[in-house]
Amino acid sequence: MLPRRAAGTDLTAGDKLTLDAADRDAIVRVTRVAGRPRLIQRLAAIGVVPGVLLTIVKPHGPSIVSLGGARIAIGKSAAESVEIEVAD
């Protein structure tokens, strides 16, 4: 798992972290989804797959992301399994 960033740190394109540690309103790209096969399948079913761009609506607790105009809630443990990078 990637380390969480320090509070108040500004992120730039290419920084790697997990979904639950992203900044609000950041546009991020999913780089990897880790975890059990069932979790990976569930996230893939809602469109959270490597390469997809997400907008972070609410980063902490259950994370809320915007994907294709829909808002999706992702539980805390699942959000910790989604590795992302800040999009250019």
The tens digit of pLDDT for each residue in 36-86 reads 999 999 999 999 999 999 999 999 889 999 999 999 999 999 999 999 999
C-beta of residue 36 within 8 angstroms of C-beta of residue 44: no
Only one residue has tokens 């105009």, namely: 69
Cβ neighbours, 10 Å, residue 61: 11
Q: Is the pTM of this model over 0.85?
A: no
Distances (CA, A) of 4 to 21, 22, 77: 6, 9, 14
Q: Domain residue spans in the chain? A: 16-86
The tens digit of pLDDT for each residue in 16-37 reads 699 989 999 999 999 999 999 9
Residue 7's pLDDT band (cuts 50, 70, 90): very low
CATH architecture for residues 16-86: Roll (2.30)
